[in-house]
Each structure stands twice: as structure tokens, then as C-alpha cells.
Structure 1
Amino acid sequence: MQTDSSFTFVLFGGTGDLSMRKILPALYEAHRAGMLAASGKIVAVARHEEDRASYLQWVNEHVKAHVAKSGVDENAWASFVDRIEYVKLDLGRAEDFVKLRDALQDHSGTRVFYLATGPSLFVPICHALASVGLNENARIVLEKPLGYDLRSSNAINDAVGEIFSEEQIYRIDHYLGKEPVQNLLALRFGNALFEPLWRREWVESIQITIAEELGVEARGDFYDNTGALRDMVQNHLLQLLSIVAMEPPHSMDSDSVRDEKLRVLRALKPIDPRDISKVAVRGQYHAGVIRGTSVPAYATEPGVKPDSTTETFVALKVEIENWRWAGVPFFLRTGKRLADRVAEIVVNFRAVPHSALGASALRAGANRLVIRLQPNETIRLYCLAKKPGEGMNLSSVHLDLAFDQFFKEGQMEAYQRLLLDVINGRLALFVRRDEQEAAWKWVEPILNEWAASGKPKPYAAGTWGPAAASAMLAQHGTCWLEEEN
């Protein structure tokens, strides 16, 4: 489906890593699939001394490697780069924004300003756009992190909100654009099968994991002032939790969906600082081996302070104080330099109340739904079935909800879906300000307590984090999914 109308997509940070790895590849895929209006233009903005020809050479060198596995269609690529223009812009020079305004005068349709920059530049860019009248008939996309805490987040939102209305602001969280998350909504709200089971009477626990094999790479300076709680929990993990736990919305329009997510965030049980050691584990990776390769400790990474107490791992036990989820523990986990790269949601259903088929039918985890977000996007339903042969011997089997086998269209990447939503003015998959505030309010007591306490627990790179994270689940009679076998 093609975008609704003409557009001009202005990409601040046009030479940056995010633009090369995610944004421009996503726009290329949308172009190749015929999803962009023919008149739509892409205007890359950066401070480098580039002209259009040298910028397109840079794009050719750095973007092609990040397009889909199917490779680059050279004819589609040639017509895609025809859309791209380049404007050199110094944020400190007001006349450069006049130059940008003049460059956009001949382009019709909705203007999208994507700020693929550091958050410290969000407010100056917005003020400069307003100074030359470019905030009208426009949408602005803000990348995370949006602030360091509730106060700084509010300061950015206040300043941006003076220039753009809430309906113009798109706070992006790319996990919300992933195909399995969209299918989670379809499974829950499009079928009578799952929704009656999606509650405390039938769900024993839920796990949400985002694990990375990589360390901080070249982001040591940024990460050492951020940590896993701010970088991953406050946004990605809490957004996924709210999608899993939300009530059925009235419709799929933007405010109906986000209203229900907000109710979940506001129902999160506050964590008493005195109980943080029982329900929150923080860790920091030491030297170890991942897939046969030795990797250094976090404290020796470039840009990281040798005595750093920044956490690279977080595990939390979360409770939702409402009628549907009271008493059901949600276990959240994220970390760097872990044993595998995986993002998944695991819904563990309760065992049957009585089994005439033997003890195996009563074991925890016999019935579960696993929504894998990365590296392979799949949905699996695990249940028990009889083994072939004599006797009633049960074994775990799984049903693959392989929707890609039923549809000829390939799965759309998260950024592609979200960028098309911005261009078409669809806000449902973007974070509203009150959602963001609720998440910061819940996270801040943990941040404050950790800032005043000792060092994180060590864990070897290539493992699944500190042993305390497993012990926390063991207290509730369960374990992380990879520990079962």
C-alpha cells in the first residue's frame, strides 16, 4: 500500500550510524516495495562538508550492506537515490536553517523531521525550525533516549511541546514496530482462543528478555552515563510489558491503544526502596568468552571509567495492581555480553488443576506461548502430546504460528513500518508523553537507590548474567526459559 500523499522526509544526522544502518535502509525497502508516493523526497541534513554527489557516494558505501537479505535491486536503488538531496547545516548558524527552508520550498506534502541525533540537540533543532516557520504542517520524530530522568525528560518534552503539538510528536520505540508484537495484538484481540486465558486465573508468570551478545562497542562514553535501566528498561521493556498486559482497546486508533498502555504503566506496583534488593538485580560484565572469542571487562572498554558502577545487566520482578494481573509476576531482563542475542516474551500458563495422565501434565511450563522478536521473528505455542508407543507418556511439542507461510508478502522490518506510520500520520505505535512520564516515575526509585548503593554484581561475559537473577525466579518456583533443560 502506497503512502497516502506526497511528503518530504528531512533526516537530521544524515551521515550518522543510525541513518546508515536503519533509517535509509528502511526507506529504501519501502521505496522498492512501492510504498512511497512517487513525489516523496528525502533531504539528508548534516554538518559535514559534503555536496550531493559525495553524500550519495557515502550512502552507496554505507547503506547497501544493511538492506534486506534479498540484496539490492540496482534499478530500484538508482530510483531511490534520485529521491535524496543533501543540505549542509550548522546548528549554530541561523542562516543555515533559512537555507534549509529555501531548499524545502519546492517540495509539497507533509514534512517529517527525523532527529537521528543526540537528545541534547532536540531542543535547539526544534527552536531553529520554528524560527523559520518549519514547524507548521510537520511531524517530528524523536529517538531515544529522551532524557536522563523524569526531570530532564519533562524539560525536553516541555520545550518541544511549545513548538509542536502532541499530535505532531512521534517518540519512536522500534520494538513496537516488530511483526511479532503486531501479531500479539492480533492473537489477543482477533481470536476467542487466547483472550479468555490472558489473565491471572490461567497465567502463572510472564518473562520478557532483551539480551545482547555485544558490549558497549564505541558507545562507552554514552553508556557509562546511562546504564541498562535507562537504556532498555524505561523504554523498550516497559513498552513491551504494557502491550502484553493491556486491556482490549475500543479500537486500534492511536489514543485507544495508548490509553490502555498508560493504564498498565500507572498500575505498576511501586517498588519500595527497602525491597529493591529482593526484586531487582543489577550486574556488570567482566572478561569472558563469547562463541570462542575472548572479550574484555566492561570497566576496560574505551570511554568507561575504570571504577564504574554502571549496570550492564538488569533483572526485575514486576507486579501489576489491577483485576486482570494481580498476583502474576512479570520478570524483565536485559543485558550486554550475554550468552546469546535474543528478544522474547514468554507467557507461562498454569498447569492443569488435576491430571489423570501423570505428573508430567502438572509440571510448570507445560503450556506456554513464546513470542520471539529477534533474531528470528516467530511465535510458538508449547503444549503436551502423547509420545508414540505403548503407555500414556507425555512430551512437550510446539505449534509454529508461522504466518509467513500463509502470506506471500515478506515480513516488514520495524523501522520500515514505523517510518511509513509517521509519513501517514498514524500514532498508535509511538509513545505518548504521559506514557513516558509514567515509566520514568516507576523507574526513578530504582535509579535513586542504585545511585546510593554499592557496585553491581559481577558476571562473566558469555553467561546469562549474575546468579542472583536466577535465584530471584527460583524463589517463585520458576526459572528463565533457557535454564529449563
Structure 2
Amino acid sequence: MSPAKVEAGHNPLRDPRDRRLPRIAGPSGLVIFGVTGDLARKKLMPAVYDLTNRGLLPPGFALTGFARRDWETQDFAQVVHDAVRENARTPFRESTWRQLSEGLRFVQGTFDDPAAFETLRSTVEDLDARRGTAGNHAFYLSVPPSAFPLVCEQLSRSGLSQPREGTWRRVVIEKPFGHDLASARELNSIVSRVFRPDDIFRIDHYLGKETVQNILALRFANQLFEPIWNSNYVDHVQITMAEDIGLGGRAGYYDGIGAARDVIQNHLLQLFALTAMEEPVSFDPAALRAEKTKVLSAVRLPRDLGRHTARGQYAAGWQGGERVVGYLEEEGFSKDSTTETFAAIRLDVDTRRWAGVPFYLRTGKRLGRRVTEIAVVFKKAPHLPFESTAAEELGKNALVIRVQPDEGVTLRFGAKVPGTAMEVRDVTMDFGYGHAFTESSPEAYERLILDVLLGDPPLFPQHEEVELSWKILDPITSYWASHGKPDTYRAGTWGPASADAMMARDGRSWRRP
């Protein structure tokens, strides 16, 4: 990415008219475990800088890194500086950087070293005295899930997890939240012994995206859509997260996890819940969680998982004009791996609103293009008062919420073709965030980090949602584990033939975004 440009002399305090992120965090600090990883460098550090630049963090905010590297604080400061210059979304300002850099600290150590956590405790106490962080600290576990229990144990043993009266201590956990229902419950038990439920923040960065939150606005702020958001009018719903990248360099994380655990269990089931849930009594965290939990509880899997699920592995092919290797040829992957890089499933919802409406969820690597969308496909009109040829090219109406990369909403409907004959074809009406608003959307991690510091959890799934998601997915992954290998599909295509066959059995077809 290109370096952020310098704007000297600019007042970094937030413009009072800027309503994108209007809440300002109180005295606090953030400790990042795994601070040398890609997530910290590309997302977390730039998000902290951008929040500082917007005036949304307190002047005494502190950022502490914990890692094995033999660094001093000035070395860590250089790493943060480089990450900010490369990846920050707001302009680089020396005044903002000076304010942030004064609160930077680094602690060297390993997760199994109690002495390092004692040093961290002393560092936090020193920040309380020197920076005015007031005993309020969040611990961001940007580490492999296998390390969660050990880090939590050390935080408890050192006293770092126990707040004094009138202060708070919070923990942030990155996905995946376990690899099945049993491990998710075990992880929740471990973390809950150290932190209170309200102080545990499970990050799903998709829920910080502006367009994901716009699902709620689209549905419940408009009289136009909600009356037809049900089985009387909706034929089916497709939720897609497609990526055009491969998995080179990610063998240590991905092999054995797969597309379903990596994406469907968290991102897609959360998008499903927001699309299918009933209207909450308010938008406070408890009310939102209650409705998401209810609809996840109502999910029913098809009896024949072989006919209504599909999985695949990408083979060599062409993408973006380049020849790319297949999954099994990627460096570090086992040549006999059965890990899927494409997954598609059908869900049914046993509620009055959605009875008879299937939800199709799919995700994959090395697909035709990078896109995430929710497509609500409506039934055809029961009667078309035209000659048979007049509307033969007319498809089903669809409302498509584009989550990324071109954020917005598209409505597909029929319109008359200009001319003397009565001929109807599909047209689209398009809303794009970039065209409709002068304000740029905040990056997802900006919103989520700010919510953690504010103690505001509406965008974070609680353990009930996580466990219900695994209850949905576990039977599918267990079925796949006992039924051979994934089908193959060429890189640059839209998945294996079995995914198309899965839809064809229901008389439907996948969208090609």
C-alpha cells in the first residue's frame, strides 16, 4: 500500500460534525499479544493510530506490545511507525504520532514465562501513574487459539485480569473460537474463569463493516422491505463470501481447519442471523443477541447432507492472467490433505417467517473474484399478463447487499425495453456508499477496538451464538470427514460441479456476482 501522506499543522481533534464514530474512549490502554504478526501490523496498529488521529482516544492512551523479540521500546515504536505509515487510512501527522508514541511500551517474553507477565504488570501500573490510564486495560489476544488458555492463565496468576474497584480489565479473542462445539465450550470455560462474561469480547471483524450493520438499517428503518421479508415473497437467500486469493504461506493455520470452520461458522452464520432474525425491541447488545440466538436456534439441517452440501479443493488454473498452482501444490500443505477450500451448505429455518425458504451459504478460495454479498431472491410474480415471449428473459427480483468490495445495495427488477413492442427485461437500481455519502466508512477494526475500550458489545458474538454456530456446523464437518475427499475445481472458477448440482436439485442456481 502507498504510504499515508503527511499533513503538517492539522488539528487532530475530531470535528464535532463528524458523526462516523462519535463516541470517545475514556482513560485506557491496550496490550497486544502477538504484536509481531500480520494482523497487528496491517490492522490493529493502524486502527489505533487512526482512532488517535480522529480524536477518539484519550490523550494519555497507552499501547503495549508483548512478544518474544529482543526489542526495546524504541524498536517497537519503529515497528508501529512503519505499520502506520504503510497501512493507516488517515493522513500521517507528526502531532498525532508524538501523542501516540509517548504511550508506547514493549515487554519481551514468552507465554509460559511468569516473570514476563510480572514485568507486564509493572509496566501497566507505571502507565497508570505516568499516562493516567486509570487502571483500565484491554488485552488483545492476536495469537493462535492454542495459546488462549496459557495467556489467560498467566493474566490471572499475575493479577493482570483482576480490576480494582472502579476500573476494568477486558480480553479480546480473535476467531476461530474453537474448532468444534466441545472445544468452544472448553475455551469459553477457561476464559470465563478469568474474565467476567461482559468483559470477554470475541472479535468477528465482519460485524464491524458498515454494510453489515446497514442490514439492520435497511430492514428496520424502511417500511419498504420488511413487509416482504418473509416466505410469502422470498424464494431463497444466497450468502456468498468469495476470495480470489490462494493459501500460499498459510499452511500452519489453514490445513485441517478448512473453509467451513474458517468462514461459515463465524462470518456467514452471523450474516445469516442478521438477515433472518426478527426485529429486536431495541439495538442494545442484549436485545440484538436475543434475536440472533433465537434464529440460530431455529436452524434445521437437511436430512441428506450429501445432497445439500458441497465441498471442494482448488486445482491449478488461471487467475488474473497468471497461472496459479493448486491447493495441494502450495508450499507446506500435505499432498493428501482433505481440507476443503470451498464449502457450500443449505440451511432451513423453522419459524413462521421463513418456513419453506432455504438459505444457501458458500465460501471459497481461488474463486472468480473477491466478493461478499447477501442476495435475497424473490418469487416470480404469480401472473404475468404478457405474451410468453415478452417476459422470457425476465428473472426473479433480487435485493443484493454488497458487503465488499464495492459496498452498497442493488435491486434487480423488470422494466420495459424501449420500443413499440411490450418486452420486459431485468434491470438494476444501484446504491453505492462511496457515491451516496461524503463520509468514508471507518475501518472495521477501528470500530471494534473503540467498542472494546467503551465496553459496548453489540457487534461481538457471545458464547451462546458461538456454541449454536458449532451445533449447526459440527454435523456437516463430521459427515464430510467420513465421506472421502473434496471435489476439485479449477482456480478462477466458481467452485466444484457438486455445488451447482446441489442447487440444481432444488431447481435453483448460484448467482455469478
Q: Deviations over 1:417-445 (max 9, x none)?
A: 11111111111110110111111111111
Is this contact kept in 2: 1:286–1:460, CA < 8 A? yes
Counterpart amino acid of residue 235 in structure 2: E
Question: Do residues 100 (structure 1) and 120 (structure 2) align?
Answer: yes
1:261 Cα shift?
A: 0.7
Alpha-carbon RMSD: 1.8
Question: Do residues 20 (structure 1) and 49 (structure 2) align?
Answer: no
1:471 Cα shift?
A: 1.9
Question: Do residues 231 (structure 1) and 262 (structure 2) align?
Answer: yes
Instruction: Give the length in aligned residue pairs.
Output: 480
Question: Do residues 59 (structure 1) and 88 (structure 2) align?
Answer: no
1:403 Cα shift?
A: 4.5
Structure 2 match to 1:76: 96
CA distance in 2, matches of 1:35, 1:356: 58
Question: Residue 203 and residue 363 in structure 1: after superposition, are their counterparts in 2 closer, same or farther (change >3 A)?
Answer: farther
Corresponding residue SS for 2:299 = coil
Counterpart amino acid of residue 468 in structure 2: A
Counterpart amino acid of residue 438 in structure 1: L
CA distance in 2, matches of 1:306, 1:102: 48
- Give the unaligned 5+ runs of structure 1: none
Counterpart amino acid of residue 126 in structure 1: C
Corresponding residue SS for 2:153 = helix
Q: Deviations over 1:196-243 (max 9, x none)?
A: 111111111111111111111211122112111111111111111111
1:415 Cα shift?
A: 1.2
Question: Residue 367 and residue 361 in structure 1: after superposition, are their counterparts in 2 closer, same or farther (change >3 A)?
Answer: farther
Matching residue within 441, 446, 452 for 1:416? 446
Structure 1 match to 2:140: 114
1:405 Cα shift?
A: 4.3
Instruction: Give the structure-2-normalised TM-score.
Output: 0.90
Question: Residue 140 and residue 365 in structure 1: after superposition, are their counterparts in 2 closer, same or farther (change >3 A)?
Answer: farther
CA distance in 2, matches of 1:406, 1:297: 40
Matching residue within 87, 97, 110 for 2:107? 87
Structure 2 match to 1:194: 225
Is this contact kept in 2: 1:355–1:362, CA < 8 A? no
Question: Residue 34 and residue 392 in structure 1: after superposition, are their counterparts in 2 closer, same or farther (change >3 A)?
Answer: farther
Corresponding residue SS for 2:171 = strand
CA distance in 1, matches of 2:230, 2:59: 47
Is this contact kept in 2: 1:351–1:363, CA < 8 A? no
CA distance in 1, matches of 2:148, 2:387: 61
Corresponding residue SS for 2:383 = coil
1:265 Cα shift?
A: 1.1
User: Which stretch shifts more, 295-304 or 359-368?
Assistant: 359-368
Q: Deviations over 1:165-208 (max 9, x none)?
A: 11111111111111111111001111111111111111111111
CA distance in 2, matches of 1:312, 1:348: 26
Question: Do residues 180 (structure 1) and 211 (structure 2) align?
Answer: yes
Question: Residue 26 and residue 365 in structure 1: after superposition, are their counterparts in 2 closer, same or farther (change >3 A)?
Answer: farther
Residue pairs, 1:26-425, within 5 angstroms: 26-68=47-89, 72-105=92-125, 106-107=127-128, 108-109=133-134, 110-135=136-161, 136=163, 137-272=168-303, 275-357=304-386, 365-425=395-455
Q: Deviations over 1:390-424 (max 9, x none)?
A: 23333333222335545432111111111111111
Instruction: Give the structure-1-normalised TM-score.
Output: 0.95
1:46 Cα shift?
A: 1.2
Corresponding residue SS for 2:278 = coil
Question: Residue 328 and residue 365 in structure 1: after superposition, are their counterparts in 2 closer, same or farther (change >3 A)?
Answer: farther
Counterpart amino acid of residue 477 in structure 1: G
Question: Residue 28 and residue 263 in structure 1: after superposition, are their counterparts in 2 closer, same or farther (change >3 A)?
Answer: same
1:363 Cα shift?
A: 6.8
User: Which stretch shifts more, 394-403 or 49-58?
Assistant: 394-403
- Give the unaligned 5+ runs of structure 2: 1-21
Question: Residue 280 and residue 322 in structure 1: after superposition, are their counterparts in 2 closer, same or farther (change >3 A)?
Answer: same
Is this contact kept in 1: 2:179–2:261, CA < 8 A? yes
1:26 Cα shift?
A: 1.5
Q: Deviations over 1:290-336 (max 9, x none)?
A: 11111111112122111111111001111111111111111111011
Corresponding residue SS for 1:448 = helix
CA distance in 2, matches of 1:44, 1:149: 30
CA distance in 1, matches of 2:26, 2:188: 28
1:143 Cα shift?
A: 0.3
Matching residue within 32, 51, 55 for 1:11? 32
CA distance in 2, matches of 1:358, 1:211: 39
Is this contact kept in 2: 1:354–1:362, CA < 8 A? no
CA distance in 2, matches of 1:471, 1:157: 38
CA distance in 2, matches of 1:166, 1:364: 51
Q: What is the identity percentage for the equivalent residue pairs of Structure 1 and Structure 2?
A: 42
Counterpart amino acid of residue 154 in structure 2: A
1:48 Cα shift?
A: 0.7
